[in-house]
């Protein structure tokens, strides 16, 4: 297991905690955007981050909400669907990475789950020169709305075959996206990819996508 280092992200008026996995020689950083009440401790996202680390790909898992915001969301469930807030927070993290001496030279991709996938696509549309690839796992990509047509980064949507609602919504997103894209359906998987082998397939697909689009050609 590749143990992460805790970093504090100093954004505009707030501070967020993040787990940074940076294998030796890494030239890539995948930033995770969770959703639906999850956080940087999500076992599914941690599994994917560990899989990426074994490929030599760095990752940054952070809490999109402050502790106060998370307590509010736990009670009301309202902030997890505030896509504008989540996207703004993610974009601020991208700007922080661009200022950070350790990370600013890395090519950045985004991995979004659930409502975090919509935030990832909005951030990709807002920072087209920064985000070079996007992967969605069971994502509500449809919630990115009109921004879908402005996404330039190659985008992979991964959905479970037993998740018909999200599959239909991902198909709608595929028709709206104008970038290079693919929709992958994991056989036998439900929304959380809890079935044997399902999350392993997500990690494999995501790793292949990021390796293809984030490894810059040699100078």
Structure confidence by residue, pLDDT tens digits, 167-187:
999 999 999 999 999 999 999
Give the chain's domain count: 1
108 inside domain: yes
Taking alpha carbons only, the member of 93, 116, 123, 104 closest to residue 10 is 93
Q: Mean pLDDT across the stretch 2-21?
A: 86
Residue for token pair 């402005």: 150
pLDDT above 80 (res 148): yes
What DSSP string runs through the chain?
Answer: --PPEEEEEE-SS-EEEEEEE--TT--EEEEEE--TT--TT-HHHHHHHHHHHHTT-EEEEE-SS-HHHHHHHHHH--GGG-HHHHHHHHHHHHHHHHH-TTTTTSEEEEEEETHHHHHHHHHHHH-TTTEEEEEEES--GGGGGGGGGG--S-EEEEEETT-HHHHHHHHHHHHH--SSEEEEEETT--TT--STTHHHHHHHHHHHHHHHHHSPPP-
Q: Give the model's pLDDT for residue 31.
A: 97
Q: Mean pLDDT across the stretch 137-143?
A: 96
Q: Give the model's pLDDT for residue 39.
A: 65
103 inside domain: yes
219 inside domain: no
25 inside domain: yes
Residue 217 sits at φ, ψ, to 5 deg, of: -60, 145
What's the pLDDT band for 1 if we cut at 50, 70, 90? low
What's the pLDDT band for 16 if we cut at 50, 70, 90? confident
Apex CA 70: angle with CA 93 and CA 12, to 5°?
30
CATH number of the domain residue 13 falls in = 3.40.50.1820
What's the pLDDT band for 72 if we cut at 50, 70, 90? low
- Cβ–Cβ contacts within 10 Å for residue 69, how many? 17
pLDDT above 70 (res 217): no
198 inside domain: yes
32 inside domain: yes
What percent of the chain has a predicted confidence (pLDDT) above 70?
A: 89
Instruction: Tell me what the pLDDT averaged over the chain comes to.
Output: 90
76 inside domain: yes
Q: Give the model's pLDDT for residue 219.
A: 42
**In angstroms, rounded to a whole number, what is the distance separating the alpha carbons of residues 150 and 164?**
26
186 inside domain: yes
- What domain range is 26 assigned to? 5-214
């Amino acid at each position: 297991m590749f143990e992460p280092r805790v970093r504090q992200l100093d954004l505009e008026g707030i501070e967020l905690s993040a787990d940074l996995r940076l294998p030796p020689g890494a030239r890539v950083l995948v930033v995770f955007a969770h959703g639906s009440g999850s956080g940087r401790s999500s076992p599914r996202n941690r599994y994917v981050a560990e899989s990426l680390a074994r490929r030599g790909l760095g990752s940054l898992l952070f809490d999109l909400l402050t502790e106060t915001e998370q307590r509010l969301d736990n009670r009301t469930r309202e902030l997890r669907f505030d896509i504008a807030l989540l996207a703004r927070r993610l974009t601020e993290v991208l700007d922080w990475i661009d200022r950070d001496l350790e990370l600013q030279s890395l090519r950045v991709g985004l991995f979004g789950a659930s409502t975090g996938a919509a935030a990832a696509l909005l951030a990709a549309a807002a920072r087209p020169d920064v985000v070079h690839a996007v992967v969605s796992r069971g994502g509500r990509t449809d919630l990115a709305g009109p921004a879908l047509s402005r996404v330039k980064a190659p985008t992979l949507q991964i959905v479970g075959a037993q998740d018909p609602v999200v599959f239909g919504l991902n198909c709608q997103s595929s028709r709206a996206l104008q970038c290079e894209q693919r929709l992958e359906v994991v056989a036998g998987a439900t929304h959380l990819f809890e079935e044997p082998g399902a999350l392993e397939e997500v990690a494999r697909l995501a790793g292949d996508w990021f390796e293809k689009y984030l490894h810059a050609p040699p100078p």
